């Protein structure tokens, strides 16, 4: 090998070594950058999570960390909200003095009340749910409750147990056991469409929570509120609603009195005579896409919700919550098997009574099926949150209409949000 060739070989070897060192360094540096980027992404994700945890709907920084089970609250004050003195707001503060988690406007609180049974005169625990009626605030919650009298066709029947307990016995400084806010009926903010809020009677309460949240946060979304009541004596927070109309050009109030009093003038005290119905909505709303939120008694719900769908409103833009002895039943088409023949009727057996009851989609949930048959089942929220209607499944399978919020024990189901998949036997 000549000297020249030797020198060239040495140079090539040195260049190869330099290249290898450079490549190794580049690889290590690139890996470090990736690790830094991953750590940065993780930190960003954690920060976002913290921001969600600490950002209330009103923009305050109170912690949203919820609590498990029941927490003790004290009644800070109570306030009558209507002319007939049948609707009262209760302002609740936690006795532990800790910040309150926020909630989604439209959700409710679950209460555990110790009430004397009107039949046995012995105290018993009663679980009931009431909608939050204001926007999230860091120091208190508000619920607004209507006193429920005996049914008009059964004046001898007892009045509403929990509502009358609140009105007659829950005073300032009373202590109450309360679960954290929950519920699947709430403001959806992923689609910033104009809103139509429809409240019948005390169904106005979740609408007030949605309305106060949007307007007090300065939202520019157009909001229409249709509030149906018999007359001004039943109207809740009249001055507050009129003050919102004056302060916010994007808020449109439509008061509907079905039985106005002689001294009440249309165009002054209310805008429409009659009930909230589809013809009224078609007459007063612009032709555009809206989100509809509906809450009220069953007859109104069974008219408005299917009516909106018949009008052409996409079912994904309709959110509703019913109150009263039964939730809304949406009449569905019969289930069709793979052979094109309608599936056979499912039989539900209630073990305690030994009753065999046929079920089809029009019967609604298992809770509604039991109530229609006069079978007493303890219930509270009717939305899968309180767990009151938890019942043992002895045989068969169920399916849920939504994911339960309450913890369900193995081998049990929540009747309020479940339907049978096949023949079913319940320990109820």
Q: Does residue 275 contact residue 258 with C-beta atoms inside 8 Å?
A: yes
Give the residue range(s) of CATH 2.40.30.10 domains in the chain. Answer: 70-182
Q: CA–CA separation, 404 vs 241, rounded Å? A: 34
Q: pLDDT digit string (tens) for 53-77?
A: 333 433 333 345 689 889 999 999 9
Q: pLDDT digit string (tens) for 290-311?
A: 999 999 988 899 999 999 999 9
Q: pLDDT digit string (tens) for 260-293?
A: 999 999 999 999 999 999 999 999 999 999 999 9
Q: CA–CA separation, 86 vs 94, rounded Å? A: 26
pLDDT over 90, % of the chain: 62
346-426 CATH fold = Ubiquitin-like (UB roll) (3.10.20)
The pLDDT of residue 209 is 98
Q: Does residue 180 contact residue 101 with C-beta atoms inside 8 Å?
A: yes
> Residue 219 pLDDT > 50, yes or no?
yes
- Give the mean model confidence (pLDDT) for residues 404-421: 91
- Give the mean model confidence (pLDDT) for residues 312-322: 91
- Give the mean model confidence (pLDDT) for residues 69-90: 96
For residue 153, CA distances in Å to 100, 156, 259 come to: 42, 9, 19
Among 57, 73, 41, smallest CA distance to 105 is for: 57
DSSP H helices, 217-318, are 238-247, 278-284, 298-311
Q: CA–CA separation, 146 vs 167, rounded Å? A: 8
Give the residue range(s) of CATH 3.40.50.80 domains in the chain. Answer: 195-323
Q: Model confidence at 323, in pLDDT bands (50, 70, 90)?
A: low
Its CATH class, for the domain covering 70-182, is mainly beta
Q: Does residue 207 contact residue 201 with C-beta atoms inside 8 Å?
A: no
Its CATH class, for the domain covering 195-323, is alpha beta
Count other C-beta atoms under 10 Å from residue 323's C-beta.
23
- Give the mean model confidence (pLDDT) for residues 114-122: 87
Give the residue range(s) of CATH 3.10.20.30 domains in the chain. Answer: 346-426
The pLDDT of residue 151 is 84
The pLDDT of residue 8 is 64
> Residue 344 pLDDT > 80, yes or no?
no
Q: Does residue 324 contact residue 297 with C-beta atoms inside 8 Å?
A: yes
Q: Give, as one character, the DSSP assignment of residue 123.
A: E
The pLDDT of residue 3 is 58
93-102 burial, b if ≥16 CB within 10 A, otherwise e?
ebeeeebbbb
> Residue 332 pLDDT > 50, yes or no?
no
């Amino acid at each position: 090998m000549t000297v020249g060739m030797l020198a060239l070989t040495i140079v090539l070897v040195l260049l190869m070594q330099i290249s290898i060192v450079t490549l190794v360094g580049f690889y290590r540096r690139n890996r470090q950058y990736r690790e830094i980027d991953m750590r940065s992404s993780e930190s960003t994700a954690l920060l976002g999570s913290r921001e969600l945890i600490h950002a209330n709907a009103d923009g305050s920084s109170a912690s949203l960390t919820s609590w498990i089970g029941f927490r003790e609250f004290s009644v800070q004050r109570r306030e009558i909200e209507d002319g007939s003195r049948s609707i009262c707001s209760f302002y609740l503060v936690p006795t532990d003095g800790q910040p309150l988690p926020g909630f989604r406007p439209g959700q409710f609180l679950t209460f555990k009340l110790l009430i004397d049974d009107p039949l046995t005169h012995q105290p018993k625990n009663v679980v009931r749910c009431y909608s939050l009626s204001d926007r999230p605030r860091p120091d208190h919650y508000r619920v607004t409750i209507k006193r429920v009298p005996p049914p008009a066709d059964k004046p001898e029947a007892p009045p509403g147990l929990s509502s009358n307990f609140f009105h007659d016995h829950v005073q300032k400084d009373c202590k109450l056991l309360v679960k954290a806010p929950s519920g699947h009926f709430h403001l959806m903010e992923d689609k910033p469409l104009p809103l139509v809020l429809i409240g019948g009677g005390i169904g106005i309460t979740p609408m007030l929570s949605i309305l106060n949240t949007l307007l007090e946060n300065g939202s520019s979304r157009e909001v229409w509120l249709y509030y149906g009541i018999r007359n001004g004596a039943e109207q809740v927070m009249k001055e507050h609603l009129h003050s919102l109309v004056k302060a916010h050009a994007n808020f449109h109030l439509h008061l509907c009195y079905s039985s106005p009093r002689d001294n009440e003038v249309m165009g002054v005290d209310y805008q429409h005579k009659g009930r909230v119905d589809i013809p009224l909505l078609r007459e007063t709303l612009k032709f555009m896409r809206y989100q509809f939120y509906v809450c009220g008694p069953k007859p109104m719900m069974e008219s408005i919700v299917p009516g909106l769908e018949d009008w052409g409103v996409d079912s994904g833009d309709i959110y509703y919550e019913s109150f009263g002895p039964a939730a809304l039943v949406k009449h569905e088409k019969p289930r069709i098997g793979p052979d094109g023949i309608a599936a056979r009727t499912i039989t539900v057996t209630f073990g305690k009574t030994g009753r065999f009851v046929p079920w089809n989609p029009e019967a609604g949930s298992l809770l509604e099926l039991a109530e229609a048959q006069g079978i007493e089942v303890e219930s509270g929220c009717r939305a899968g949150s309180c767990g009151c209607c938890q019942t043992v499944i002895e045989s068969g399978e169920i399916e849920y209409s939504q994911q339960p919020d309450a913890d369900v024990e193995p081998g049990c189901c929540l009747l309020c949000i479940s339907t049978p998949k096949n023949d079913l036997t319940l320990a109820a």
